Amino acid sequence: MLERFLIVFVAIMVCIHPSYQRRQTFKCNDYVTETTSYHRSGISFRMGPHYICYLSNVIQVSSAIEIVDEIISHAFVDGNSAIIEPREVGAIVVKNSNFIVLPSQLFNKFRNLLVFRASDVNLRQISREDFRDTEHLTILHLDRNQIFDLEDGILMYLKRLQRLDLSRNMITAINEDTFSGCSSDLYEVDLSYNRITKLDYSTLIPLAHAKKLSVELNLNFNEIKEIHESHRVDHLTFEALQLKNNLLESFTCPDIKIGELHLENNRLQLLSFDNCSVEYLIVSQNHLNWLHIHGDLKGLVASHNKISSFVVSGADTEIYHFDLSENENINHVFPSLKEMNEMQFLNLSHSFIGVLEPETFTNMRELKYLFLKDCGIEIIPFEVFGNNKRMMTLDISDNLLETIDLHMFVGLDRLKILDISGNKLNKIDGFERVRSILPELSEIRIDGNRFECNDLRVILKTFEGLGINVIMPNYSSHSKSVSGIECY
Ligand SMILES: *[C@@H]1O[C@H](CO)[C@@H](O)[C@H](O)[C@H]1NC(C)=O
Ligand SMILES: *[C@@H]1O[C@H](CO)[C@@H](O)[C@H](O)[C@H]1NC(C)=O
Ligand SMILES: *[C@@H]1O[C@H](CO)[C@@H](O)[C@H](O)[C@H]1NC(C)=O
């Protein structure tokens, strides 16, 4: 009797063993309203309320089709045993499955589907016809698969598509017809981490023509060596064009307008914006020797190049964010810098300046953040910051300053943070008048200098008495120190 009971028990255990539980399933638990939004302009879209259903453990597509038939022939229920109609399903997410081709019958059964995600399911091929019944589909994620080819007009049936993610596949090329007929709401296309080697502006006409929502096209981490224009394009518009980590040696552009252009980590030696307009340009980690700053540019990050000069076109540049850090000797750029009246953020750290001219920052009345770390600066002329009444942060650490008189900083009425660490200072003249010169100063960093310990004690005590926070270094290897700051 007991034996028989044991056999039955073991049989039951085998049946509910985890390997048996990895059956194909289709579960709909979440009944939600989803919102998605545009990265730069912040326009947002609402979807639902609808069910999000999870299709799991499909071994091959034919079984997915069976599963769908089964779902449709019986009513299926959510976690609270409510009956769900296929038309209430707004999103399907595929997990732990192996597809090879898309189960397009799904789209036929779930006519109101807005979102379909099948990431990392071994998908090898997609075709235009797969999407024949996707009239409402808005978001399509097919990332982390092995798709290598995009058929012409691949998106032509996806008339409502807004976001497409094909990142981390094996796509080698896009041609003139790849995106033809795509939805005019398509505003995000992610093709990053593929194997695209060439880019032709004319292939982007369907994505970026002026009458559709302006697109964010991500081509980061491909193998693009050249960009050309096989035939003329007019008025293309990109919210963002991302080309970082490719193999570009030169970049020119035709009649296009780009909100944000990412070109960091290429091999660029030549950059030309003769006929196009770019608002924000990020071009760090390239081999540029010089830069052309055109009239529309508002922000420019060009750190880690070899820039020693630039040309500014147009009398009024609107540039307000400029990062020219980690370049070479940038002394020659100062005459042009002086014209940049709108500047709010300027980072010149780790580029060589040597001598600060008295008028360098005179016209930058809006300047709020100035970073001059490690610029080989030996002298700060008196009142060089006389016009910078809005400045809040000033970093002149790691330079060669031997003396500082706080009167050099007259004019910095709103300065909150001052960093003069890592220089050769043995005193700070006028420190006892710090409150009248820098009335809003709240933080100062002074370590890494050559103060005598007695002088340092007096300085620290004065700052402490005035409620100015002295930022401490994390460690000091020096044998003598006061409050963690080394001294002699
Ligand atoms: C800019 O436009 C002019 C006139 O349309 C044309 O001659 C020139 O080749 C264009 N330059 C670039 C870089 O496309
Ligand atoms: C200024 O540039 C340096 C070097 O590129 C960088 O490390 C630092 O973070 C930048 N500062 C700011 C505030 O962006
Ligand atoms: C000290 O280290 C912390 C964390 O490692 C860092 O956030 C902080 O900026 C450092 N402070 C200074 C003064 O370097």
pLDDT, tens digit, 9 for 90 and up, residues 473-485:
876 666 788 888 8
Number of the ligand 3 atom closest to the C-alpha atom of 472 = 13
Helix (H, G, I), strand (E, B) or coil at 208: helix
Q: In the prediction, which pLDDT does 71 show?
A: 66
In 82-194, which residue ranges form alpha helices assigned H by DSSP? 105-109
DSSP string, 97-113: ---SB--THHHHH-TT-
Whether the predicted pLDDT of 209 surpasses 60:
yes
342, 345, 283: which is closest to 317 by C-alpha? Answer: 342
β-pairing, 44-56 vs 89-95, is parallel
Distance 10 CA to ligand 2 centre (A): 65
Ranges assigned E (strand) in 96-209: 115-117, 139-141, 163-165, 188-190, 198-200
- At residue 36's C-alpha, the angle toward residues 54 and 107, to 5°, is 40
Show the tokens assigned to 274. Answer: 């003769």
Buried b (16+ CB within 10 A) or exposed e, 385-408: bbbbebbbebbbbbbebeebebeb
Mean pLDDT of the chain: 87
User: Is residue 97 within 8 Å of residue 123, measured between CB atoms?
Assistant: no
User: 182-196, 328-342, 379-393: lowest mean pLDDT where?
Assistant: 328-342
Give 386's contacts (C-beta < 8 A, 6+ positions apart).
362, 410, 411
175 lines ligand 1 (CB under 6 A): no
Mean pLDDT of 109-127: 93
Assigned architecture for domain 146-486: Alpha-Beta Horseshoe (3.80)
pLDDT digits (tens, 9 = 90+) for 265-293: 999 999 988 888 999 999 999 999 988 88
Whether the predicted pLDDT of 423 surpasses 90:
yes
Confidence of residue 20 (pLDDT cuts 50, 70, 90): very low
Does the bond joining 86 to the residue before it have cis omega, within 30 degrees of 0? no
Looking at per-residue confidence, does 241 or 85 come out higher?
A: 241
Domain segments of the chain: what residues? 23-145, 146-486
Hey, how many other C-beta atoms are within 10 angstroms of the C-beta on 345? 17
Q: In the prediction, which pLDDT does 10 show?
A: 47
pLDDT digits (tens, 9 = 90+) for 443-480: 999 999 999 999 999 999 999 999 999 998 876 666 78
Q: In the prediction, which pLDDT does 15 show?
A: 44
Give the residue, out of 474, 475, 476, 477, with the most ligand 3 atoms within 8 A of its beta carbon, to mutate for a pocket test: 474
User: Is residue 178 within 8 Å of residue 156, measured between CB atoms?
Assistant: no
168 lines ligand 2 (CB under 6 A): no
* pTM recorded for the entire structure: 0.87
Q: What does the longest C-alpha to C-alpha distance in the chain come to?
A: 102
- At residue 307's C-alpha, the angle toward residues 305 and 312, to 5°, is 130
